[in-house]
Amino acid sequence: MIKLILIFKVLVQISISIKVEGIQNFLIKESIDILKIKKNHFYNSLKYRSRTEIVAMILEAANGGATKTKIMYKAFLSYAQLREYLAVLIENGLLEYMEGTQTYKTTAKGLNFLKMHSEIGELLQTSVRER
């Protein structure tokens, strides 16, 4: 996404230096279309997340400590979904609630889960590439 924004900025700078309005408008329109496609692809990839992927996103968001709101936005969850997942994660010792600061923090067990989840993801990617 950052690369696309940088490309967009360069294209706009080039078109401004050329001072051709038609090209400038075309480049801006095309860049915006590309950004919309990337954004839609990102949100469509969130449609069919597994519970494991959601848990990993929550644990990643809570790594180092985070409020409910921060976790909710980083993991792309509704408040109702978040409450259910937080209860399960705390019950299983993957997450802990810090009462003084009202934040959630990933435990050592949760960090171990994240490490294993990442390793499994890497194994699956390499097996797909080898085919």
For 93, the domain range is 51-130
In eight-state DSSP terms, residue 1 is: -
Mean pLDDT in residue range 60-81: 95
| Same domain for 117 and 91 | yes
Lookup: tokens for 70: 């921060």
What pLDDT, in 10s, does the model give residues 112-126?
Answer: 999 999 998 888 887
DSSP SS3 for 105: strand
Looking at the fold, whether 85 and 24 belong to one and the same domain comes out as no
Question: Which residues make Cβ contacts (< 8 Å) with residue 36, sequence separation at least 6?
Answer: none
Largest CA distance in the chain: 62
How many domains, in total, are found in the chain? 2
CATH number of 111's domain: 1.10.10.10
This prediction's pTM: 0.64
Kindly state the helix (H) or strand (E) to which residue 52 belongs, with its residue range. helix 51-62
